Amino acid sequence: MQIKNLQQKMLTAAVAALILGLASGPALGAGNRVTGQTIYIPSYANVISGPPVLMVVPLRANLIIHNTDPSHAITIEKIDHYDTDGKLVYKYLEKPVTLQPLAATRVVVKEPKRGSEGVGANFIVQWHADQPVNTPLIDCLMLGTLGNQGFSFASQGKVIQQTTK
């Protein structure tokens, strides 16, 4: 009798989970389809290491843009790098770049100027697509060394403007 009762409870729980899953909307990653975005991505040019002695550790930023849509290309229109004061440091694109489905691209800050970009440095990335697509994944990986110690950080972008058709 206990086994039958347990089976009934398990069946009820499975049906409830299925109903709740269907009612909650599309699967992760499939629901946010848009035709363009402007994205802010933090990019730290250095961090402070210590104690006992406080030292500035310069970091090299790697901005990586992944087109997560399996069927449609996206066009990257702008990749601009700003310093802590919000001043434009460098424009990385002379012309738009198309990322095919599931493709990726990377921008590396060649030589960060010591202290000029600072802790508030950031990228602004602008992209568009001809039809609604999965939103791209945009990360900034920051890497540096001090002596024989390695430092690595990652930050993800925040949408500051979005277009849907």
CA-to-CA distance for 6 and 1, rounded, in angstroms? 9
CA-to-CA distance for 28 and 86, rounded, in angstroms? 34
Tell me: pLDDT of 46 over 80.
yes
Number of alpha helices (DSSP H) and beta strands (DSSP E) in the chain: 1, 12
> What are the chain's domains?
33-163 (2.60.290)
For 81-131, the pLDDT digits (tens) are: 998 889 998 999 999 999 999 999 999 986 665 555 677 889 999 999 999
**Does the CA dihedral 71-76-81-85 come out positive or negative?**
negative
Cα of first residue to Cα of last residue in the chain, in angstroms, is: 57
Predicted TM-score (pTM) of the model is 0.77
Structure-token pair, residue 123: 């990228």
